[in-house]
Amino acid sequence: MKNDLQAELTADLLSEAAAPAPLPSALAPSLTARTLADEPLLPSFGLTLTPLSWSRPSLRAGRYGSGMTLKVGPWRLEIAL
């Protein structure tokens, strides 16, 4: 009985139905060919509080394109346009 079960499991593993699906070679066209006409950009913001990590006041360009990052003490405000 053990050999029958083992033979059945081995046959299942070697069959074509159990083969993994191929990985996509490229992103879907909707993800790579985005234009402003397809989806308008919306402003967004993020507010982060890190009580154990304080910083001096600073104002910098945003990390993700246009926008601003304001740091004051434990607070960080990021605005993306």
pTM here is 0.45
* 74: pLDDT strictly greater than 60: yes
Distance CA 72, CA 44 (A): 19
How long, in residues, is the chain? Answer: 81
Confidence of residue 31 (pLDDT cuts 50, 70, 90): very low
DSSP 17: G
- Edge-to-edge, what's the strand order for the sheet holding 67-73? 44-49, 75-80, 67-73, 55-61
